[in-house]
Amino acid sequence: MEEESDTREILSADALRPLEQQEAEAEVEGSRSGCSESPPFSCPLSVTVEPVLFLSMFSLALQMPLYTQYLWERISEDLGYNGTRGAAGCGNSSEHDPLQKEVEALTAHWNLYINLGGFLVSLFVVILIGSWSDQAGRRLVLILPSLGLAVQAAVYLTVMYLKLPVALFLLGRICSGLCGDFNAILAGCFAYVADISDKRSRTFRVAILEACLGVSGMFASIIGGKWRHAQGYIQPFWLVLATNLATALYAYLFVPETVTPDPEARLFSTRHLRAVYKLYTSGGQRGHRTQLWLYTLCFFLVITVHFGSRELYVLYELSTPLCWNSELIGYGSAAYHTAYLTSLLGLRIMQYCLDDSCVAILGLLSNISGLVVFSVANTTGLMFTGYSLCFLFMAATPVLRSKLSKLVDPSEQGALFASVACVEGLCSLVASGVFNSLYPATLHMMKGFPFLFSAILLLFPAGIIGTLWCREKTMNTGITAVN
């Protein structure tokens, strides 16, 4: 035990010198590549990939509730269901309407099929394109998925204009998946932040990116709900298409490159898969393989709950007993995305007095309390109470990303974020399969059961993070005692 403590102490001391060298090299690299390939006004503000993530999330948050509502209305039309959602037309008389429940079930199933198709395609593409960015450059990983999302929006517009079968939505998702989908943009942005930040500031820089997700989602939700109420579905989807094209253009013109492109870098190579495999089998930096696996498991469970519950909010709010209209759905989605910003502020404040692990646990407890309220919510007030309790629910994910990043060498950051992006794709796949199947299966038992199930799942990462935190404190206390 003493030998292990001495070894850890020596390794910790040896790790300081490469970190200082790494930070100095990052500053030199940033000054060399940051301002030389972008306009001078972009360098003093330190704005790089934040607008890319902001615009991409804006387009995603704008279209997700709209296309779910569109599916609802098209399926209702096909089945001859003319139930209304509002104070005057949605009451106790429709609570046990079998046709409404069939519409709910079919909408959930089509959500499942469309998301399954997209994520099955993008699951391995994200690994390839993320690891490929270590040689080919980060900007390509930002441009290609944005163009794929633009193609998806064009397909959706075609379906809506011509009233084609909703099954063709799957074609748009596959096109986006072939280009990496939104998860590839996430991987590229977080890898970019790892390139330009040191370990001390990385948690907060990651949290800033996630706050961009929330702020953009909040604006998109408010705009989408009001716009849908005023002009229908087609006009907002034109904005989705334009936003994705603008994202690709911004990344091409204004994002400085942090990696020297290798003209011989190949996208389709087993080298990228081997890099990720080696990362999780060789133990990573200083032999922390067990921690790498455990934090990855925590990340998987947390993101799965986020994706799964987010997909059900609109369905839950559309139907009895809430019967929200598009404007209320927009406000609810805005409240959900506001938590990204409040989580950033809360994380920044709590970092002054609490360890990152403790911040993550408090974020998970915030999420659990909100989900429990959602599971029994039968009024608008209770739904917004649940949203307010989730004000710290995004505090856990930047901590987990940062802890994973600190467990590997600087040369392995690309492989790490490629694997994290793959995990996010897998989370979306599992969440779509589990939650979109669980919701219609439990409608007759307990409508909010999927939210209760989500709260139970989050107890596991909270326990794992707490155990690792206690173990770390015990080991540090032992090292101090030996000294």
Residues contacting residue 120 through CB under 8 Å, at least 6 positions apart: 177, 429
Of the pLDDT bands very low, low, confident and very high (cuts 50, 70, 90), residue 480 is low
pLDDT (average), residues 116-131: 80
User: 131-172 pLDDT, tens per residue?
Assistant: 777 777 888 889 999 999 999 999 999 999 998 988 899 999
pLDDT for the residue 83: 60
pLDDT of 37 strictly over 70: no
pLDDT for the residue 323: 87
pLDDT (average), residues 382-393: 93
Residue 19: Cβ within 10 Å count: 13
What is the rounded radius of gyration, in angstroms, for the C-alpha atoms of the chain?
23
pLDDT for the residue 181: 87
pLDDT for the residue 155: 94
CB 380 within 8 A of CB 338: no
pLDDT for the residue 479: 62
pLDDT of 29 strictly over 70: no
Q: Which residue has the higher pLDDT, 259 or 206?
A: 206
Alpha-carbon gap, residue 156 to 223, rounded angstroms:
19
Three-class SS state of 443: coil
Tokens of residue 368, six digits: 């659990």
Of 7-21, 80-94, 258-272, 416-430, the one with minimum mean pLDDT is 7-21
Of the pLDDT bands very low, low, confident and very high (cuts 50, 70, 90), residue 481 is low
Residues contacting residue 161 through CB under 8 Å, at least 6 positions apart: 234
Q: Which residue has the higher pLDDT, 255 or 273?
A: 255
Ramachandran quadrant class, 302 (left: phi over 0; alpha: psi -120 to 50; beta: rest): alpha
Q: Which residue has the higher pLDDT, 383 or 416?
A: 383
pLDDT for the residue 20: 40
pLDDT for the residue 96: 55
pLDDT of 459 strictly over 50: yes
pLDDT of 307 strictly over 60: yes
Q: Which residue has the higher pLDDT, 95 or 388?
A: 388
Rounded to two decimals, the pTM is 0.73
pLDDT of 9 strictly over 70: no
pLDDT (average), residues 427-454: 87
pLDDT for the residue 120: 80
CA 92 to chain centre: 36
Of the pLDDT bands very low, low, confident and very high (cuts 50, 70, 90), residue 30 is very low
pLDDT for the residue 166: 87
Place of tokens 């649940």: 386
pLDDT of 41 strictly over 90: no
CB 439 within 8 A of CB 368: no
pLDDT for the residue 240: 92
Domains annotated on the chain, with CATH: 47-86+97-255+288-476 (1.20.1250.20)
pLDDT for the residue 5: 40
CB 32 within 8 A of CB 213: no
pLDDT for the residue 121: 84
pLDDT for the residue 188: 87
Alpha-carbon gap, residue 66 to 90, rounded angstroms:
20
Alpha-carbon gap, residue 79 to 101, rounded angstroms:
11
To which H or E segment does residue 338 belong?
A: helix 326-350
Peptide bond into 321 cis (omega under 30): yes
CB 479 within 8 A of CB 6: no
pLDDT of 22 strictly over 50: no
Place of tokens 């990696």: 259
pLDDT of 247 strictly over 50: yes
Three-class SS state of 432: helix
Closest of 233, 184, 212 to residue 422, by C-alpha: 184
pLDDT for the residue 27: 41
pLDDT for the residue 458: 96
pLDDT for the residue 64: 82
pLDDT for the residue 283: 53
Closest of 134, 415, 128 to residue 277, by C-alpha: 415
Measured on CA atoms in the order 123, 279, 188, 186, is the torsion positive or negative? positive
pLDDT of 21 strictly over 60: no
pLDDT for the residue 482: 61
CB 121 within 8 A of CB 129: no
pLDDT for the residue 456: 96
Q: Which residue has the higher pLDDT, 1 or 48?
A: 48
Q: Which residue has the higher pLDDT, 413 or 444?
A: 444
Per DSSP, the residues of 40-57 read GGGTTTT-SSHHHHHHHH
Distances 297 to 71, 104, 452, 456 between C-alpha atoms, Å: 33, 32, 20, 15
Of the pLDDT bands very low, low, confident and very high (cuts 50, 70, 90), residue 483 is low
Amino acid letter at 274?
Answer: R
Amino acid letter at 462?
Answer: A
User: 279-306 pLDDT, tens per residue?
Assistant: 787 754 454 788 889 999 999 999 999 9
Residues contacting residue 25 through CB under 8 Å, at least 6 positions apart: none
For the chain, what is the mean pLDDT? 80
CB 152 within 8 A of CB 243: no
Task: Summarize the chain as % helix, strand, coil (round to 5).
Answer: 80, 0, 20
